[in-house]
Amino acid sequence: MRKRVSMKDIAKELQVSTALVSYVLTGRENEKRVSIEMAEKIRKVAKDLNYKPSQLARSLRGGATMTIGLLLADIANPFFASLARIIEDEAAKRGYVVLIGSSDESAEKSASLLDTFIDRQVDGFIIVPTEGSKEQIESLMEKNNAIVLLDRYFPDLNTSHVCLNNYNAIAEATTHLIQKGHNKIVMFVYQSSQIPMQERVRGYVETMKGLNLERNIKVVEVPYSFTKLEKERLIKMTLQNDINIDAVIFANNSLTIIGLYAIYQLGLKVPEEIAIIGFDGSEVFDFFYAPLTYVEQPLVEIGIKSVETLIGIIEGATEIKQFELAHTFHIRNSS
């Protein structure tokens, strides 16, 4: 790599100090009373030499790296990939660059990725917290880092967050199924103490209770650590063992897709033998033999709000903002 062109080179060329060059190239020539002629000369030489400021030096000196650390569960998961895309675009608009990491829902990986982000001195964090990462978040908070939690949060941690109103989403789905005449509804969720799952369960449970279907409540907890095949088997067994089940709600995207494999293999008629409600949307939902009714999250809004909020904090905002955004419910053939 050829030697970088630095302010020093421009300064030398014009026999002036680097201070002057800095003033002009950061657009503070008026404030710093640089003569118009000199400003022009500096800009010209900068252009001629194809000068590019070193973000590195700027960051070292100024403290800000204009970098955001984004910790997701898995970037290969379409839900997070889309979110990442939106966040990157939004961040780029504001001059920020995004470092992405995938925790795979492991607290260990989460810790190690957060450490990397710290080493890189990111200005702020957007985090989809995994189970068991509460202490990590707390430790970041103690050090006064800018943080926005995404998709999930810890109720006893006073952080900004952006997520879905999970209760409402599932409550509407449950109500819809009941109105359609289903009442033996089973819900598949990930075994998780995290708020979103809890809220989704609550949305289901309370709605069932409210319509006097308490005795029909059935929540199946699928361990996240299961392989795809094990999850599929658990779903199949559940549906086979209780033939009264006439509807299922899958509490998230990957469970929905795995669930579809299970139902497909069981050869169940949808929605006659079983109605299905999925989560987050996917092309798969369109191609399943009964196009799926599903809950859609407002991805764009979630992405933009999280970046906005984070940059707000980075720039000094102290107010804690907690967004619970509204879902969209798409009714199609599976219910």
Whichever of 18 and 82 has its CB closer to DNA, that residue is 18
Whichever of 55 and 165 has its CB closer to DNA, that residue is 55
- Helix axis angle, 18-25 relative to 7-14, nearest 10°? 110
- Alpha-carbon torsion (292, 186, 183, 210), positive or negative: negative
**What residues make contact with DNA under the rule CB under 7 A?**
3-4, 6-8, 15-23, 25-26, 32-35, 37-38, 51-54, 56-58, 60-62
Q: Which of residues 142-201 bind a second copy (CB under 8 A)?
A: 143-145
3-state class (DSSP) for residue 293:
strand
Q: Which of residues 93-132 bind a second copy (CB under 8 A)?
A: 97-102, 116, 118-121
Q: Give me the helices (H) in the chain, please.
A: 7-14, 18-25, 36-48, 55-62, 78-93, 107-119, 134-142, 166-179, 195-210, 228-241, 253-266, 283-287, 299-314
- Asked if 288 touches a second copy (CB under 8 A), the answer is yes
Stretch that binds a second copy, among 16-24, 161-169, 213-221, 281-289 (CB under 8 A): 281-289
Q: Which of residues 42-61 bind a second copy (CB under 8 A)?
A: 52-57, 59-60
Whichever of 21 and 137 has its CB closer to DNA, that residue is 21
The minimum distance between CB 205 and a second copy, in angstroms, equals: 30
Whichever of 15 and 227 has its CB closer to DNA, that residue is 15
Query: Which among DNA, a second copy, none contacts residue 331 (Cβ within 5 to 8 A by kind)?
Result: none
Distance between CA atoms of 173 and 165, rounded to whole angstroms?
A: 13
- Asked if 81 touches a second copy (CB under 8 A), the answer is yes
Whichever of 57 and 97 has its CB closer to DNA, that residue is 57
- Asked if 264 touches a second copy (CB under 8 A), the answer is yes
- Alpha-carbon torsion (277, 280, 284, 286), positive or negative: positive
Tell me how crowded residue 142 is: count the other CB atoms within 10 A of its CB.
8
- Asked if 203 touches a second copy (CB under 8 A), the answer is no
Distance between CA atoms of 56 and 306, rounded to whole angstroms?
A: 26
- Token pair listed for 71: 């910790």
Distance between CA atoms of 154 and 136, rounded to whole angstroms?
A: 12
The minimum distance between CB 86 and a second copy, in angstroms, equals: 8
19-24: long-range contacts, CB 8 A cutoff, minimum separation 24: 21/46
3-state class (DSSP) for residue 148:
strand
The minimum distance between CB 55 and DNA, in angstroms, equals: 9
* Residue ranges in contact with a second copy by CB under 8 A: 1-2, 52-57, 59-60, 65, 74-78, 81-82, 84-85, 88-89, 92, 97-102, 116, 118-121, 143-145, 257, 260-261, 264, 282-284, 286-289
